[in-house]
Every structure is written in structure tokens, then in C-alpha cells.
A and B are shown apart, each in its own frame.
Chain A
Amino acid sequence: QLQLQESGPGLVKPSETLSLTCTVSGGSISSSSHYWDWIRQSPGKGLEWIGSIYYRGGTYYNPSLKSRVTISVDTSMNQFSLKLTSVTAADTAIYYCARDPISSGWHDSFDIWGQGTMVTVFS
């Protein structure tokens, strides 16, 4: 059974870079049938999609975060990663990674999620 697990620092200082990794177990990240995504939820707010990556490296980003976000993939480690630069308190959130099946050539849904990791931007 495929599982996703987020990891990374729980505290980041303002203006610094938030870095998280999602490790895929029980399956291969090098699947032609899936994208791999990052999604977050700030305290008291709704879900916000951050971006997607394909195992060959193709990416899609949230237009409102695009200038600060980089998502990368390491197929040898079965991991994908998120970097968010110049963080502020508004980036404090639970960060989730998720699997995003491809159906009819399009992004289909988020069918498997990691448990989430809380990141606080705090000086």
C-alpha cells in the first residue's frame, strides 16, 4: 500500500527558505500515471494547492506562489521536495504531500495524502 511521509524542519525564520521532503513508500515515484503534489492549510483557513511535479521533472505551480516555489524530484530516493523562499508568518501551515493520478491526460484528484507536517515561521 503506497504511503507518503513529509519531513523537514518545523520552525523556519522569516525571510528564510522552507524546505520539505516527501518520501514515497510502497510504490514508485517513477510512475507514468501520477503527478506528485504539495498542498497546505494555514491555521483557520482552507486548503491551498502549492504545486505538482511529474517524475520526469515537469512542474505546475500555484500562480500566486510561483515566484517563490520550487518543487523537485529525486527518483533514486523515491522522494520529491518543496522549497519556498522568503517565508513570512503567512506561510505558517500544515504542509501535505499527495499523489495526483493522471486520467485522460489530466490531473485527476488527490487520492493518497501524507499525514502532514506543521511548519511555523517564527523569529
Chain B
Amino acid sequence: QSVLTQPPSVSGTPGQRVTISCSGSSSNIGSCPVNWYQHLPGTAPKLLIYNNNERPSGVPDRFSGSKSGTSGSLAISGLQSEDEADYYCAAWDDSLNGHWVFGGGTKLTVL
């Protein structure tokens, strides 16, 4: 059971906008920024969003993040077939001397 809760799967058609939620608690998302990672099979995970809504250089602006209270959200607009991947949220957790926590991951299927 992951500390952060994500839906197991989401789907959309090319061009659509999809969102993935990430629910946490006061000790993690409620007090620290949330990050998002894209993970394609056989490759290393890639940082998509950090500090709730900032994109590293090279990440398309189709990807955006937000945070409200103890929940974060990743939005992908203009869905493309290459966006089909697993997406993970993560946040630092202040409890127990501090540690990183991940969501269980969301499989995005582009129909």
C-alpha cells in the first residue's frame, strides 16, 4: 500500500486532456512540494514536474502540475501516443525523520 494514492489507470484519445490525481497527507504533500515522473518500460524514470508545477528543461508544456492542500494533480493536454506510460507522484514526508514517498503509479493508455 503506497503512502500517496493514485488511480491505477487512466485513458484518453489523441488530442484529449487527461488528469492524474495524487492524494497524500499533511506530512507529505500538505507540507512539501509534489513531483511527477514518467516511466516507460525498460527505461529510467524521467522527471516531468517538480515543485508542484515547474517543468525541467525539455519537458513539453503539454504537461502541467498543480497542488491543493494534501493533493496534487498532473494534467496532460493534447494527448499523444508516446505519452502512454506509467506516471508516479512523489513527495518528501516530514514524519519519521524524513523520507521520500511515492504513489503507486498510474498507467496511462492512449486509445
Instruction: State in angstroms the CA–CA spacing of A47 and B92 once bound together.
Output: 14
Q: Which of A66-123 contact B (CB under 8 A)?
A: 96, 103, 106-111, 113-116
A26 at the binding interface (Cβ < 8 Å): no
Which A residues are closer than 8 A to B by beta carbons?
37, 46-49, 52, 60-63, 96, 103, 106-111, 113-116
Contact of A109 among B50, B98, B102, B105 (CB under 8 A): B50
| A contacts with B: majority SS | strand
* Number of inter-chain CB pairs below 8 Å: 62
B23 at the binding interface (Cβ < 8 Å): no
- Chain A residues within 8 Å of B35, by CB: 108-110
Contact of A110 among B86, B90, B98 (CB under 8 A): B90
B63 at the binding interface (Cβ < 8 Å): no
B2 at the binding interface (Cβ < 8 Å): yes
Q: Would you mind naming 6 contact pairs between A and B with Cβ atoms under 8 Å apart? A: A46-B2, A46-B104, A107-B98, A108-B50, A108-B51, A116-B44
Residue of A nearest to B50 (CB): A109
Q: By CB atoms of chain B within 10 A, which of A107, A115, A116 has the most?
A: A107
